[in-house]
């Protein structure tokens, strides 16, 4: 019996995109290689050995984005300079060295895929100390505005979503042969649906004859309620499919609202690809995952929130590509939708065509194939790391009492 190749996929819960990209890659690997491939998804930030401030950072991300967006943008921009980024990476090495080494020793992967940037420096440190390199693929999960810590030379392949991010990778020192444009991995089901939207709506129990707006919220979407209030009182023959994204407060608000249009309410869903294929447009924030999934479905985007910093580039990508609009206030959301629907929906149809042109629905398969090829190569012993680099690394670990020597 052939021993399956082991692929470790690392993710984090700092937003939905890292987790969803990880799951998309895992699903594509299972679909393509079946029992030949053993895939495990791990979140190192949830490890008991991870310092509390990092474990809590996943929830703090939601709070910072929601309550202090301008401060979050400032911190993001400042940390993207060379010196702050280097300090950040050293902090991640100190904080996650033991965690990462323990995870690698436990899972013994033949290849690693990471959808979260903060793991690259700790992985580099573990490889250097153990003189062993495991093939490593980095999957970047934003479309344009990308922090420099994503571009660590330890990676074998940096898989980026757009030409803009490809250029950023080269500007930040990665060799061209280490960078590939694949798109952001989205669930393989997005590439498999062939029914017309009306047929998909009928299968969901929705009215097939109404223009359907899918609205996707979460704790990070600040202006969803106001936009929905305007659409609810617009008098347009619309159908709304509303997903609260696990925001229980928003879900209760939606349940308590008196709706004047046909409405379908959900909190968390596991069939987002189906909902997207059933809709005519999506009302959402400019998160990398949602934008990428919508483009993969050819779904026009009506953006109501953009997190300053990393999501600004996502919004610009959508707008410049003609695949959607950004509503700065609720009335503008209604105005955009009206313009899309006039003249028999010509504007909406053009946005949909532009979205299909930008979308990469098979990105997960492409990433999976590259990960499989890396796993076939497997880990390699490497010559002792550069003495100066290794000396500085072990000095850093020693100064913070991080054990790194073999017992």
Write the pLDDT tens digit of every residue in 286-339. 988 889 999 999 999 999 988 877 788 899 999 999 999 999 999 999 999 999
Tokens of 304: 């109501």
Terminal C-alpha separation, the chain: 35
* Residue carrying structure tokens 């950072």: 57
Confidence bin at 71 (pLDDT 50/70/90): very low
Of 142-146, 239-243, 277-281, 301-305, the least confident:
142-146
Report how many helices (DSSP H) and strands (DSSP E) the chain contains, helices first: 15, 14
Using only C-alpha atoms, the chain has a radius of gyration, in whole angstroms, of 22
* Residue carrying structure tokens 């895939």: 39
pTM equals 0.84
Fold observed for domain 189-358 = Rossmann fold (3.40.50)
Domain 5-186+362-399: state its class. alpha beta
Per domain, the residue ranges of the chain are 5-186+362-399, 189-358
């Amino acid at each position: 019996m052939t021993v399956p190749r082991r692929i470790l996929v690392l993710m984090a819960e700092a937003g939905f995109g890292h987790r969803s990209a990880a799951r998309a890659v895992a699903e594509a690997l299972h679909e393509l290689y079946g029992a030949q491939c053993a895939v495990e998804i791990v979140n190192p930030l949830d490890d008991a050995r991870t310092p509390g401030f990092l474990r809590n950072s996943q929830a703090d991300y939601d709070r910072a984005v929601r309550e202090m967006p301008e401060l979050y943008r400032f911190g993001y921009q400042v940390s993207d300079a060379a010196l702050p980024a280097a300090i950040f990476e050293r902090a991640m090495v100190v904080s996650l060295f033991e965690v990462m080494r323990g995870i690698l020793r436990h899972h013994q992967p033949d290849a690693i895929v990471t959808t979260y940037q903060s793991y690259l420096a700790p992985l580099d440190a573990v490889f250097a100390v153990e003189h062993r390199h495991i093939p490593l693929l980095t999957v970047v999960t934003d479309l344009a505005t990308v922090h420099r810590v994503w571009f660590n030379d330890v990676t074998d392949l940096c898989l980026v979503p757009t030409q803009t991010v490809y250029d950023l990778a080269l500007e930040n020192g990665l060799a061209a042969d280490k960078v590939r444009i694949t798109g952001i991995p989205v669930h393989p089901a997005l590439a498999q649906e062939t029914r017309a939207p009306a047929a998909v709506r009928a299968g969901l129990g929705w009215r097939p004859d109404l223009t359907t707006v899918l609205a996707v919220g979460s704790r990070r979407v600040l202006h969803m309620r106001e936009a929905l209030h305007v659409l609810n009182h617009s008098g347009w023959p619309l159908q709304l499919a509303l997903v609260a994204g696990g925001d229980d407060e928003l879900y209760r608000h939606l349940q308590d609202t008196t709706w004047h249009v046909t409405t379908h309410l959900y909190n968390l869903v596991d069939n987002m690809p189906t909902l997207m294929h059933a809709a005519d447009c999506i009302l959402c924030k400019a998160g990398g995952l949602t934008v990428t999934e919508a483009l993969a479905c050819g779904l026009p985007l009506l953006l109501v929130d953009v997190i300053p910093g990393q999501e600004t580039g996502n919004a610009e990508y959508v707008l410049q590509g003609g695949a959607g609009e950004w509503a700065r206030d609720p009335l503008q959301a209604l105005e955009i939708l009206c313009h899309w629907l006039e003249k028999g929906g010509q504007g909406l149809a053009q946005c949909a065509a532009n979205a299909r042109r930008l979308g990469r629905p098979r990105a997960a398969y492409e990433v999976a194939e590259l990960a499989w090829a890396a796993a076939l190569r497997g880990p390699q012993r490497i010559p002792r790391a550069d003495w100066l680099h290794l000396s500085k690394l072990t000095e850093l670990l020693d100064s913070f009492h991080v054990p790194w020597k073999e017992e």
